[in-house]
């Protein structure tokens, strides 16, 4: 079972516009560099797709640099359709980029003028995905490199789907950072830590 790119982007869009999964949880990686202090950082409010390191994307997704395609380049104020193209177009609240292939994606967004409530809503949504009736089980990880409040999760879809989704989000200055690496056909044991490291380095690259 493959999940459409539109559906994944809707998850990311929802992620752009705690205790569980925040602070220093017990999973994942993502120890920031000594020279970067996320507590005092601010992020760019400008479109940034052309600044994302494609080698980082290729490495975390396990593909060659030549296979890293820019799938979506969305700016604040852009109109876009939902996954089912139903209802009026939505208005983007974040600058968002999606790279990769049809089955492997690396998604990054920055929502300017965000609040702690915006971030906490996403953290709460991810925390609730492990409940009964959910198609995913999400394990919280160390979210300290991604702001305050923040969340980091590794979400694994239940069989027969093999999708693995790693998400890091947090409030940095007055911007909401959201980063997700997704493999639709299974992942190795090091994928989560590599994805969180890629999200951390991407966050640092977007700092003003």
pLDDT of the chain along its 208 residues, tens only?
A: 344 444 445 455 555 543 334 443 333 333 444 589 999 999 999 999 999 999 999 999 999 999 999 999 999 999 988 766 667 888 999 999 999 999 999 999 999 999 999 999 999 999 887 666 678 889 999 999 999 999 999 999 877 788 999 999 999 999 999 999 999 988 999 999 999 999 999 999 999 8
Count of the separate structural domains present in the chain: 1
Give the Cα-Cα-Cα angle 201, 73, 46 (nearest 5 degrees).
65
pLDDT at 186: 87
What pLDDT sits at residue 85? 62
Instruction: Return the structure tokens found at 183.
Output: 């493999």
Q: By the 8 A CB rule, do 96 and 175 touch? A: no
Given a contact cutoff of 8 angstroms between Cβ atoms, the answer to whether 152 and 168 are in contact is yes
Structural domain harbouring 195: 5-205
- Comparing CA positions, the residue from 67, 15, 70, 14 lying closest to residue 47 is 70
How confident is the model at residue 84, as a pLDDT? 61
Residue 62 to residue 178: CA distance in whole angstroms: 21
pLDDT of residue 195: 98
First-to-last alpha carbon distance for the chain, in angstroms, is: 40
Global pTM? 0.82
Domain of 121, CATH number, reads: 3.40.1000
Phi and psi (nearest 5°) for 8? -65, -40
Q: What is the pLDDT of residue 21?
A: 42
């Amino acid at each position: 079972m493959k999940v459409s790119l539109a559906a994944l982007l809707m998850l990311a869009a929802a992620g752009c516009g705690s205790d569980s999964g925040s602070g220093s949880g017990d999973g994942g990686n993502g120890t920031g560099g000594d020279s970067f202090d996320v507590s005092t950082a601010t992020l760019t409010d400008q479109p940034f797709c052309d600044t994302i390191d494609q080698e980082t994307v290729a490495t975390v997704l396990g593909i060659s640099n030549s296979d890293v395609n820019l799938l979506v380049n969305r700016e604040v104020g852009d109109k876009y359709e939902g996954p089912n193209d139903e209802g009026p177009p939505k208005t983007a609240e974040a600058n968002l980029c999606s790279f990769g292939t049809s089955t492997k994606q690396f998604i990054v967004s920055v929502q300017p003028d965000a609040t702690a409530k915006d971030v906490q809503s996403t953290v709460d949504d991810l925390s609730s995905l492990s409940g009964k009736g959910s198609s995913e089980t999400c394990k919280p990880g160390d979210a300290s490199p991604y702001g305050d409040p923040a969340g980091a999760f590794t979400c694994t879809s239940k069989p027969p789907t093999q999708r693995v989704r790693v998400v890091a989000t947090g409030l940095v200055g007055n911007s909401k950072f959201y980063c997700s690496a997704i493999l639709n056909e299974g992942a190795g044991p090091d994928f989560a830590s590599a994805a969180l490291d890629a999200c951390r380095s991407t966050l640092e690259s977007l700092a003003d």
